[in-house]
Structures are given as structure tokens and as C-alpha cells.
Amino acid sequence: MSWRGQWQTASFRGVEFRFRSASAALGRRNVVHSYPGRDDPYVEDMGRKAREFTIEAFVIGAGYIAWRDKLEAACEQPGPGELVHPTRGRMQVAVQDCRPAENIEAGGLASYSLTFIEAGNNLFPTARVDTQSAVSFAADDALAAVQDDFTGAFTVAGFPAFVNVSALSNATAAIESMRLSALSNLPDMGVLSTFTSGIGGLLGAVDTLLGTPSALASRFLSQIGLLNSLFAPHQARQAAFALSGFGSSLLPVPATTPSRIQQGINQSAVVGLVQRAALIEATRAAGQTTFTSRTEAVAVRDQLANALQTQAETAPDTVYFALTDLRVALVRDVGARAANLADLIGYTPTSTQPAIVLAYRLYGDPSRDAEIVARNRVRHPGFVPGGSELEVLA
């Protein structure tokens, strides 16, 4: 097709017109900054300039007056309209200027200089709640409440030596539980050494820290918080949640004397501090986790929300409200981020086949073979076993 054959019939808001020539003004919106004593200016680019189109147009013929009136009415309507540019095609524009001209020597003809400017959408700022940050802030508040509660309950001052020995035993057991939960759930031995070195330092100082409950709580919270600082969110979540089960094997202390009562309070305080801090850090890690399916996200949400509810039911008021706020933040965050994720479903291939073939059959995308292999721990991507149910995204 020739260049002339590619031209379109010009019109605005459905009213056709003829054209003699067309021009445009394009470019960038630059702001030039000049400074005293400096020869070179600085040019600040503010974005693309609004495109402006000028068309030298005309209407002609015995009925040109009615044609002229329609075109002028179209140019005076409010708001943007569709321009069919003779060489650039369809676009939404606003009329910048319309200058008609008629003269007696050219009867039956009205000429126009039409200037249009492209019309974009009026986009307003939209507010979006940062639900992940909300989880982190709620976790900080919950940790502060847990630390204050521990500081107010735990003490060895003024009690017999066996109270101190019992507290030391409980604190040492808690530190060992931190180490074991990390070893069991955090496979990166290079980073794990940083965590275990902190464990060593805490063990060496714990006897001294028993006399200052606030310092002891702070060191415990810092060590548990390292899980989120050093490891991937899903690994930190697993390790912290495992640690939240600490204390189940400790024997209750009989409340027979004031010293025994304080010994029991101290034990409960250490157990509560570790359990709640670990659960709070597990929830923080969930807020940083990138979930791959709605099924996974909902399972993590329910696990942590139920655990937070259980902890809150036995906590004092300040800790109860802090844990409840954290639970609400978690549910909102996971609900918002899981809304657009696919569900996990079961799929059983009828025969052994390469993962790339299976990915094409399921998704129409062979590049998703690694996803199937990783999710189902397939030993070799060339041989996905038939007859065994796989987890795949819907």
C-alpha cells in the first residue's frame, strides 16, 4: 500500500473534515536551573511534554455551512474527544484552539486552524495500607509488652540460693532450646555460626544477667530476633515457631512456700518470655514471607493466628491486647496478599514424564518445570513419577 493509501479520513467527535497540512509539537518538559558564578546550567527533566497537534483543515461544498456548524459545535463541547488524525490515527484529545476563516473569494469553503492537545486520565493518588509493615510494628509493640511483663514478674533478689539455681537452669534450658531450634530448621551453616556465637555469649553472661531481669529479657529477645535478621523468612518462621514450644517438658514447681512460689513465677516468666517472643518473631517472619499459593498462605496464617490466640488467653492484660493486635495485623496482611494467589491442588500424572512436558500440559508454559520439581522434591526433572499425586498450582 502506498503512503497516500495509508492516510485516514480526518474527523473529530465523528465530524469529518478535509486537511491541507498537519504538524505537531513534541519533546520533554525541561526546567533549566542557572546558578551565579557558574556557566553551565543544570537541566531537570520533568517528563514527556504533552503532545500538541495542529491541523490546517477545511470543509467545502454546497452544504458547507451546516458542515461548518457541526465541526464548530464539536470543537466547543466540553471534555476530551476522539480525533482521527489523517496520518497518526485515533487518539483522545482536547481542543486547544479552533480558528475558522471564510472569505468571499473562496465561496462554499470554511478553513480552520485546529490545535489539539493529547488528553490523559486524571489519576488521583490512591492510599494502600502497608500490611506487612503493620505486622512488623505490631510485633515490636508485642515484644515491648512481653519484656515489661517479664521484668515485673522475674526476680531472684532476696530469695534462697535454690531460687537462683532454678532460674539459671531454666534460662540455660531456654538458650539450649534456641540453639536446637536453629540447628534443626536453618541449614545454612555459614550464617548459623553467627547465631550460635551469640548463643555462646549469652550462656557466658546468663548467671550475671539473672540479677537484672530487664537486661536478661533484652538479651533473650535480641537472640531470638536474630532468626529474622540472619535467615530467610520461611526458615526463620519455622525455627521460631519450633522454639515457641519451649517449656513443655519442665516440671511444675509446688507452691508450698513464698520462695517456691517465686521459683514457679520465675519459671513461668522464662517460659512465657521465650514462647511469646518466638511466636512474635515467627509472625514477623510470616509478614516478610513471599507466598507462592493461597493454600500455603492460609495454612501459615491459621497456624500462627491460633497459636497467638492460645498465648493471649493466658497472658496478662497488656500482653493480651498486644498479642491480639498482632494477630489482627497478621490476618489482614495474609488475607490481602493471598487474595490474588492461586490455590494448590492435587494432580496425579498417568505416566512418568519429564517435568518440562508436565509444565506445558498443566500451564502451557514449559519454563515452569522447576516450580513443579521444587514443590514436590522430585529427584530428577527428567523423571516425574507417574501414579503419585503432585502438588501443583491451580
Tell me which residue of 294, 300, 275, 329 sits closest to 140, measured CA to CA: 329
* 126 domain-assigned: no
**Are 180 and 304 in the same domain?**
yes
The whole domain housing 193 covers 131-338
Question: Is the per-residue pLDDT at 192 higher than 90?
Answer: no
Q: What is the pLDDT of residue 394?
A: 66
* 361 domain-assigned: yes
**Are 209 and 323 in the same domain?**
yes
Q: Which helix (H) or strand (E) holds 194?
A: helix 189-209
Buried b or exposed e, range 39-64, using 16+ CB within 10 angstroms: eeeeeeeeeeeeebbbbebbbbeeeb
CATH number at residue 366: 3.10.350
**Are 329 and 348 in the same domain?**
no
The pLDDT tens digits for 287-339 are 999 988 888 899 999 999 999 999 999 999 999 999 999 999 999 999 998 88
**Are 233 and 215 in the same domain?**
yes
Q: Cell 469529518 belongs to which residue?
A: 16
The pLDDT tens digits for 157-169 are 999 999 999 999 9
Buried b or exposed e, range 92-123, using 16+ CB within 10 angstroms: ebebeebebeeeeeeeebbbbebbbbbbeeee
**Are 327 and 351 in the same domain?**
no
**Are 178 and 299 in the same domain?**
yes
CA-CA distances (angstroms) from residue 318 to 144, 149, 364?
A: 10, 8, 53
Q: What is the pLDDT of residue 92?
A: 93
Among residues 83, 118, 153, the one where a domain terminates is 118
**Are 256 and 314 in the same domain?**
yes
| Bridge partners of residue 300, in order along the sequence | none
**Are 83 and 212 in the same domain?**
no
Q: What is the pLDDT of residue 189?
A: 66
**Are 274 and 316 in the same domain?**
yes
Question: Is the per-residue pLDDT at 128 higher than 80?
Answer: no
Task: Measure the CA angle with vertex 76, ends 75 and 81; round to 5°.
Answer: 55
* 123 domain-assigned: no
Q: Please give the share of the chain, as a percent, with pLDDT higher than 90.
A: 59
**Are 296 and 152 in the same domain?**
yes
Q: What is the pLDDT of residue 15?
A: 92
CATH number at residue 29: 2.40.30.200
* 125 domain-assigned: no
Domain total for the chain? Answer: 3
**Are 218 and 301 in the same domain?**
yes
Region of poorest pLDDT, from 164-168, 177-181, 281-285: 177-181
**Are 167 and 205 in the same domain?**
yes
Q: What is the pLDDT of residue 187?
A: 63
CA distance 97 to 74: 12
* 124 domain-assigned: no
Q: Which helix (H) or strand (E) holds 12?
A: strand 11-12
- Beta-carbon contacts of residue 248 (< 8 Å; ≥ 6 apart): none
Cut 0.75: pTM above it: no
Contact between 10 and 19 (Cβ < 8 Å)? yes
Question: Is the per-residue pLDDT at 188 higher than 70?
Answer: no
Q: What is the pLDDT of residue 284?
A: 95
CA distance 47 to 195: 48
* 364 Rama class: left (phi>0) / alpha (psi -120 to 50) / beta: left
